[in-house]
Structure 1
Amino acid sequence: MTVKHFSVEYDKANEQGSYSPGDILSGKVIVVTSKEIKVQCFLVKAKGKAKVTWTEQDRQCTVVHSDKKKYFYFEHIILQDKNKGDGSEIMGAGRNVYPFSFMIPNNDMPSSYKGKLGAITYSLRAQLTQSIWLVHKTKTEVPFLTRAEFPFASKSEMIIIGLKEQQYATRITFYGSGKVTMNVTSEQMGLKQGEVMGVSVEVLNDSARSVTPKFYLCEKQTFVAQSKKAVHTNDILFGIGESVPAESSQTITKVLSSPPEIHPTFFNCCMMKLEYTIKVTLDIPLVKDPEVKLPLVILQGVPKPQQRKQKRSIWFKKLAG
């Protein structure tokens, strides 16, 4: 192979290496060749898209639900032969660097995200065509952050929600042996990536059984394709309290630490959304566990620098006929 190296790279726009709507996405395509080569077409593309796909069994057949949305697509031709296929453009031997830049539309677009059944991706792709049977391709994903301050509600709704206010809920459960009441309180409804807050449960156990509180951070991913909906949930245990004996009461507090890598809540994608809740359950022997759920909004914190994921260039042959 005469093409020894083929890659596309983006420039670091900030400390996090991420881009947002309205930014100039710039970078370079690097080609290293062992000798002079003829080129039919050489181009670079920038694309932002969301795509969801999942399958369901319907009697004897498998049904595929899929949909996609394109946020932007740009294409820049670096080299192209003059007579459509005669290979009249020449690339010199050695290391060749070709800069490029694209203006990202200043529209409301969601941040990069990879979920169970779909993803929101922003990428750069380069393609070098030497002949109809020899094509080189390379791709890299670009980390993208929305500029929406609240990608899950309008500002008027945010005033009503009150993310910094304390919230609480009560659950009373009756058993043959008595009554159990739990009052759950969280310090606030909104939490930034990497922040911590206390979650408390007051247990009034008037039953003849001991009960044990458990604390969960619950994630809910919702995907929509062609009017069909699929939901994926994941519960992360972050605390187990001491058992509350029969005929007693106790208040237990656990600290919820929001992982820095957790993805913020978002609704600003028509095909998927991400929500969180705090769930507190009481583990009661031989009885279905009662539970209380409180809404939780994960806010964008200060993101960590991203590591670029560069895919190796590939080439393939097309056989005539």
Structure 2
Amino acid sequence: MLRGKVRALAVLLDGSERTDLPAFSGGDPVSGRVVVEVTGDVRVRSLDVTARGVAKVRWTESRNAGANTAYTQNYTEEVEYLRHQDTLIGQQRDEDGSEEALTVLHAGLHEFAFSFNLPHMALATSFEGKHGSVRYWVKAELHRPWLLPLKVKKELIVFEHIDINTPLLLAPQAGSKEKTLCCWFCASGPISLSAKIERKGYTPGESIQIFAETENCSSRVVVPKAALYQTQTFYAKGKGKQIQQLVSNLRGDPLPQGKSQSWEGKLLKIPPVSPSILDCPIIRVEYTLVVYVDVPGGLNLSLSLPLVIGTIPLHAGASRSSSVSSCCSTASWLGLSPEAPPSYGDLEISESHRRECLRGCDGCDGGADRGSLLTYIAEFRYLPPPLYCEVDPYPDPGEVRRPDTCPSR
């Protein structure tokens, strides 16, 4: 009779030996191995691997009638994103007790590889909230005769990538408001607020540059402030539940009566937070930058600018164009005139520099096609644009040719 025991059962993902957890997105391959360590010989009926991905929402509401609870209503909803099952040993959940259906694992360490692909679709990002979550995991189950199965889970981190390098997320966000404080029959002057940020899309770790102008014509001392909020919305059975959390904030200097204050790119750091979740039917995670004036003893004057927290950071080219666009917009917003662009002549590259680039491209690795393509790009990217000419270089033979008005090179 075999008297071996299972000492350890673990699921290891390829890439998990790194300090950071491996992250996946829709369509990515997932591979790893199930490790089984036994002392002595052990009979195994099956070793199954199951991968699941589920978005789940749950909360409870009670209605009271006097001292008693009238009723309790549970709100639950679930959306499945992933289901994969594979059998690494034996036959899956074989209930037949025959010896032929059993596999003997001898004393030592055994590894069994597995692999599968995540669905080619928009997956919800892994998330943990107060009333719901989005979770992905790989579970291994070891079935032995006459014993309870051994189970172990390994979490999968999944990101639905949001690229902030899109025109919609690179567009500046701005707004302005004004408020007048009234006290019985005496009305003080208005409080005005204008605010602008460079773009709508950011990634965790970045800082939001806030441009704001606050003018206080009231009789109270007010304080300009800004705050970044995360709003979690959960949907179940046609009803929604919303949670708002403060993520980060900053404050300006107190502003007495008749004074104004400007923020010329005041920085608000975005801490490590979950990316926006915009496509899940039962869970949404959204962000809002609120620039407001704290009015003591009255309602605050506030501006809400929607944000999207993405996963793909700003590219260098997009950063430059966004910065140029922001500078121009900010300049016009502040009443300044942008300087004229440089002339084509200032952008010309010397012939010696161009030849050095061509020689460098000739030595590139990657085959003849790649080398010729890089040579072509390098040859033409440094040339100035052709001079303007009103004469069609490919005229219609039937047309009368106009006199040459092209400037000489």
Query: When the two structures are superposed, what TM-score results if normalisation uses the length of structure 1?
Result: 0.84
Q: Please point out which of 10, 35, 45 is paired with 2:40.
A: 35
Select the residue among 103, 114, 131 that pairs with 1:117: 131
1:145 counterpart (159, 171, 180): 159
1:12 aligns with 2:27: no
Q: Given that residues 40 and 86 in structure 1 are in contact (C-alpha distance below 8 angstroms), is that contact kept between their aligned partners in structure 2?
A: no
Partner of 1:258: 270
Tell me, yes or no, if structure 1 residue 99 matches structure 2 residue 105.
no
Q: 1:54 to 1:94 in 2, by over 3 A?
A: same
Q: Report if the CA contact (8 A) 2:201-2:309 is conserved.
A: yes
Q: Equivalents in 2 of 1:51, 1:190: separation in Å?
A: 27
Deviation at 1:193, TM superposition (A): 2.5
1:49 matched residue in structure 2: 54
**Bigger helix fraction:** 2
**CA distance, structure 1, for counterparts of residue 300 and residue 38 of structure 2:** 66
Amino acid of the residue matched to residue 45 of structure 2? Q
Pairing partner for 1:108 from 122, 128, 140: 122
> Percent identity, aligned pairs only?
28
Q: Does the aligned pair in 1 maintain the 2:227–2:246 contact within 8 Å?
A: yes
How far the C-alpha of 1:258 sits from its partner, in A, is: 2.0
Q: Alpha-carbon deviation of 1:103?
A: 2.2
Rounded to whole Å, the distance in 2 between the matches of 1:273 and 1:113 is: 10
Confirm or deny: 8 A CA contact 1:30 1:95 kept in the other structure.
yes
- How far has the Cα of 1:55 moved from its partner? 1.2
Residue in 1 that maps onto 2:174:
168
* Matched residue, 1:190: 201
Tell me how far apart the structure 1 counterparts of residues 26 and 136 of structure 2 sit (CA, whole Å). 11
Q: Which amino acid in structure 1 is aligned with residue 5 of structure 2?
A: T
Deviation of residue 40 (structure 1)?
2.3
Change (3 A) 1:256 1:85: farther
1:76 to 86, 107, 125: 86
Deviations 1:123-178 (A, max 9, x none): 1000112134422110010111225647xxxx9xx65xx32232211121111322
Deviation at 1:268, TM superposition (A): 1.4
* Residue aligned with 2:22, SS: coil
Write out per-residue CA displacement over residues 83-125 of structure 1, whole angstroms, 9 at most, x where no aligned residue. Answer: 6234632121111111111122212212222222111111100
* Residues 108 and 148, structure 1, Cα contact 8 Å, conserved in 2: no
* DSSP 3-state at the match of 1:163: helix
For the residue of structure 2 that corresponds to 1:131, the secondary structure is coil
What RMSD, in angstroms, separates the aligned Cα atoms of the two structures?
Answer: 2.3
Could you tell me the TM-score, scaled by structure 2's length?
0.67
User: Which one of 226, 243, 256 corresponds to residue 232 of structure 1?
Assistant: 243
Shift of 1:288: 2.1
- Matched residues, number: 293
CA contact (8 A) 2:248 2:270 kept: no
| Residue type of the alignment partner of 1:275 | E
From the two aligned structures, give the one with the greater strand fraction.
Answer: 1
Larger radius of gyration: 2
- Whether contact under 8 Å (1:12, 1:18) holds in the other structure is no
Whether the aligned pair in 1 keeps the contact of 2:278 and 2:284 (CA below 8 Å) is yes
In 2, Cα distance between the equivalents of 1:42 and 1:26? 16
Conserved in 1, the CA contact under 8 Å of 2:225 and 2:252?
A: yes
Distance 1:42 1:85 in 2: 16
Match in the other structure for 1:305: none
Structure 1 unmatched ranges of 5 or more = 303-321
Retained in 2: the 8 A contact 1:179–1:206? yes
- Separation (CA, whole Å) in 2 of partners of 1:83 and 1:138: 21
